[in-house]
Chain A
């Protein structure tokens, strides 16, 4: 629950206001219980630093990413064009997303269909705010003595070369940032991409998220940080399967930032 009201585009437009940035929440961020918490934390950060922002609320719809990766280009373009119509009608210029998949799709694939915006991922926003001195890591929970590792979401890292922003958000904590053996451009997928989130995996000898847990355990991390709601699900499941829920936490960069600042 947030102590403040979440502004929607419709309300702002009705009052003749234009927010500086649109927060694209995404489907997971809207409906998945765990991701909803992260969504509220992103709003807390936006509210805390006083950026004027709004969400689309019920006017937001799936970007079409899972359809596109799974080969359904029709459905993707239907979604894309409908969304672009809404975004352009509100004269949106800048978007921050809570999900690397939405980030990638709107940033790279919407321009060709008539939707050109400046798109950033929430970890990039956090990095910018840190650089501008608007966000620090004080007044909240201390992460001292904890080992944190960052799991690179494929659609943030390899797909868009964003490796440093999420790490910048962790580097300001008084903690040890450890890298897994497969990190950055060598990072191992959590197993959810390409539509896998919505289907059973093909037959094999193990699950991809369990393979990833080996890297986490080897790195001796107490906290796995991520920036993707799908990675969040896969990694949390992995931790659960390893019976490590008491030892290893999976947290989004936004949650860590909110905790560190006591927001």
Chain B
């Protein structure tokens, strides 16, 4: 009874805290400007099934794809086991699914065990890639102490959880062989039966071990759940809505700003009366709240894998720009804006902004808009849109484009070409060559 009560309290607190922090992230995302991404639901579901569920964009890097798939499937399927643990915890039962599921239960437990080993292996491989092989993709200016530790924590926690799960099963298996108390024969343990000989033989010690691992496993999972909102690992939840709300247009299609259309139309035709679009006065993005909620959702979805940066022509050739940094900066600034909101209320201005305090102009101007980053992202994040919005702010609100670009602008404006040629000479190629 006491154990049940403690379990229910821990579960309640964990779920409450998670809901609170996830709610804050949701609120922060909704600080962004509105954009309609609800069209074509059938296509959206299809893309989500393919890209998020099916992880089709991971296959470009096969080793990472296979390892990640182990962890992903392991995570999803082992959650069935967590469901049983929850019910057992609340009702004080033991392996409650074993009886109704019969033979299937044995099969499931076997599958969980095999998956647990695969997850364990994948996590070890990932730790090696990050810390021993030191793949270039996992370093860079934005990969400071915290992002690197975050990745290692996640992998270590998963290794610990899998170890606890297998040890728990091993102890249970041994107790079942001893026909000890309520440890009735349930499940089949292809992996943990191999560990069992390493465990003590006394029933008392085994019960302590089994219960200890059970509690460690479930408290670990609940703690991990609460770690998510502070971590890049939040991608396991946001990847799905983020892909659902993907940009469905051709990658080359940049948004046409409706606020600008109004002004241009009014300029070309003085009789034009603009429809009220409700657009804010600012052109482009200076801070995170000038971006759309989708840009902000993407920032929280990014798991810092660095595929974008590793294919960015600017980054490859040593420029400051890193698309991953754009996403991480957006997220970090948004978190800061959210914290300000919690501490100081709505109208507080901390005097900082995404532009300059986080993302420098040098980074923005290094982009070739080649879309390599958006193509590389396994969850359809679009750093290019943020870069473009910030360029728009710099150019249209501040008139601070690099001088050479200003020259290009004035050529386009005056001669109808980015170079200083007369429009009257535009057909010369056909005549005097």
Residues on A lying within 8 angstroms of B by beta carbon are 1-2, 5-6, 8, 25, 27, 29-31, 36, 39-40, 43, 55, 57-58, 60-62, 64, 66-75, 77-79, 81-82, 104, 107-109, 112-113, 154-155, 158-161, 185-189, 191-208, 210-211
A159 touches B371 (CB 8 A): yes
How far, in whole Å, are A73 and B430 apart by their CA atoms in the complex? Answer: 32
Which residues of A have CB within 8 Å of B313? 188-189, 191, 208, 211
Residues of B283-319 contacting chain A, CB below 8 A = 283-284, 311, 313-314, 316-319
Q: Please name all residues of chain B whose beta carbon is closer than 8 Å to the beta carbon of A210 when the two chains form the complex.
A: 317
C-alpha spacing A208/B318, complex, angstroms: 9
Which of A62, A69, A188, A198 has a CB less than 8 Å from the CB of B404?
A198
Cα distance A64–B256 in the bound complex, in angstroms: 12
A182–B253 CA distance with the chains assembled, in angstroms = 23
Known: A71-B392, A193-B369. A31 touches B426 (CB 8 A): yes
- The answer to whether B252 touches A155 (Cβ under 8 A) is yes
Q: How large is the interface on B (under 10, 10 to 19, 20 to 34, 35 or more residues)?
A: 35 or more
Minimum distance in angstroms from B168 CB to a CB of chain A? 45
For A1, the chain B residues whose CB sits under 8 A away are: 433
Smallest Cβ-Cβ distance to B389: which chain A residue: A71
Q: Is the CB of B430 within 8 A of A60?
A: no
List the 6 shortest-distance A-B pairs measured between CB atoms, nearest first.
A159-B252, A71-B391, A205-B318, A61-B416, A194-B369, A204-B318
- Across the interface, do A73 and B260 meet the contact criterion of CB distance under 8 Å? yes
B407 within 8 Å of A (CB atoms): yes
Q: Which residue of B lies closest to A7 (CB)?
A: B430
Contact with A69, one of B319, B366, B369 (Cβ below 8 angstroms): B369
Given contacts A82-B268, A158-B375, 9 further A-B contacts (CB under 8 A): A57-B426, A66-B408, A69-B388, A70-B409, A73-B284, A77-B256, A191-B317, A191-B368, A193-B370
Known: A31-B426, A62-B417, A72-B395. A195 touches B433 (CB 8 A): no
- Which residues of A have CB within 8 Å of B368? 154, 189, 191-194, 196, 208
Which residue of B60, B396, B405, B418 is within 8 Å of A73 (Cβ)? Answer: B396
Contacting residues, chain A, for B393 (C-beta < 8 A) = 71
Question: Would you give 24 A-B contacts (Cβ < 8 Å), ordered by A?
Answer: A2-B430, A8-B427, A25-B429, A27-B416, A27-B417, A30-B417, A31-B419, A36-B429, A43-B430, A57-B426, A71-B393, A73-B392, A77-B260, A77-B264, A108-B252, A109-B253, A154-B371, A158-B251, A194-B368, A195-B408, A198-B418, A200-B404, A202-B366, A203-B362
Instruction: Give chain A nearest CB distance to B428 CB in angstroms.
Output: 8
* Cα A189 to Cα B311 with chains together (Å): 10
* B256 engages A109 (CB within 8 Å): yes
Q: Which residues of B contact A66 (CB under 8 A)?
A: 408, 412, 418
Against A, the Cβ 8 Å flags (1 = close, 0 = not) of B321-358 are 10000000000000000000000000000000000000
Count: A-B pairs, CB below 8 Å: 221
* Chain A residues in 8 Å Cβ range of B419: 27, 31
Q: Are the C-beta atoms of B372 and A40 separated by less than 8 Å? A: no
What's the least CB distance linking A236 to chain B, in Å? 17
B93 at the interface (CB under 8 A from A): no
Q: Which residue of A lies closest to B283 (CB)?
A: A73
Report the separation of the CA atoms of residues A6 and B426 in the bound assembly, to the nearest whole angstrom.
Answer: 13
Interchain nearest-CB distance for A201 vs B (Å)? 7
B367 at the interface (CB under 8 A from A): yes
| A57 to B, closest residue via Cβ | B427
Distance in Å: Cβ of A183 to nearest Cβ of chain B? 12
Provide the bound-state CA to CA distance between A202 and B321, in Å. 9
Q: Which of A55, A158, A199, A206 contacts B427 (CB 8 A)?
A: A55
- Closest-CB distance, A48 to chain B (whole angstroms): 16
B425 within 8 A of A: yes
Q: For residue B26, give the distance in angstroms from its CB to the closest CB of chain A.
A: 30
Provide the residues of chain A in CB contact with B362, threshold 8 Å: 202-203
Contact B311 A186 (CB under 8 A): yes
* Whole-angstrom distance between the Cβ of A237 and the nearest chain B Cβ: 14
Contact B395 A70 (CB under 8 A): yes
Given contacts A27-B418, A188-B313, A202-B319, contact A159 B250 (CB under 8 A): yes
Minimum Cβ distance to chain A for residue B63 (Å): 17
Assembly CA distance A192 to B429 (angstroms): 23
Q: At the interface, yes or no: B249 with Cβ under 8 Å from chain A?
A: yes
Q: Complex: how many Å from CA A135 to CA B402? A: 45
Q: Is B319 touching A75 in the complex (CB atoms < 8 A)?
A: no
User: Do A72 and B401 have beta carbons less than 8 Å apart?
Assistant: yes
Contacts of B20 in A (CB 8 A): none
CB-CB under 8 A from B253, the residues of chain A are: 104, 108-109, 159
Closest to A59 in B: B426
Is B267 engaged at the interface, CB distance under 8 Å to the other chain?
yes
With a cutoff of 8 Å between Cβ atoms, the chain B residues found around residue A70 in the complex are: 391, 395, 401, 405, 408-409
Note all chain B residues with C-beta closer than 8 A to A29: 429
How distant is A6 from chain B, measured CB to nearest CB, in Å? 4
Distance in Å: Cβ of B421 to nearest Cβ of chain A: 5
The smallest beta-carbon distance between A248 and chain B, in angstroms, is: 20
Q: Does B424 contact A (CB under 8 A)?
A: yes
B48 surroundings in chain A (CB, below 8 A)? none
A82 shortest CB reach to chain B, Å: 8
B13 to chain A, nearest CB (A): 47
Please determine whether A203 and B260 come into contact, CB atoms closer than 8 angstroms: no
User: Could you tell me if B409 and A75 are in contact, using CB atoms closer than 8 angstroms?
Assistant: yes
Q: Are A58 and B409 in contact (CB under 8 A)?
A: no
- Residues of B near A187 (CB, < 8 A) are 372
Q: Shortest Cβ distance from A255 into chain B, in angstroms?
A: 14
**Considering only CB atoms, which chain B residue lies closest to A38 in the complex?**
B429
- Min CB distance, A63 to chain B, in Å? 10
Distance A106 CA – B405 CA, assembled complex (angstroms): 22
B413 in the interface (beta carbon within 8 A): yes
* CA gap between A191 and B390 in the complex, in Å: 20
Is B76 close to A, CB under 8 A?
no
> Is B394 at the interface (CB under 8 A from chain A)?
yes
Contacts of B146 in A (CB 8 A): none
**A232 CB, min distance to chain B CBs, angstroms:** 15
Q: Please indicate the chain B residues that have their CB under 8 angstroms from the CB of A6 in the complex.
A: 427, 430
Check A40–B249 contact: CB distance below 8 A. no
Knowing A30-B417, A62-B417, A204-B314 touch, does A74 contact B264 (C-beta < 8 A)? yes
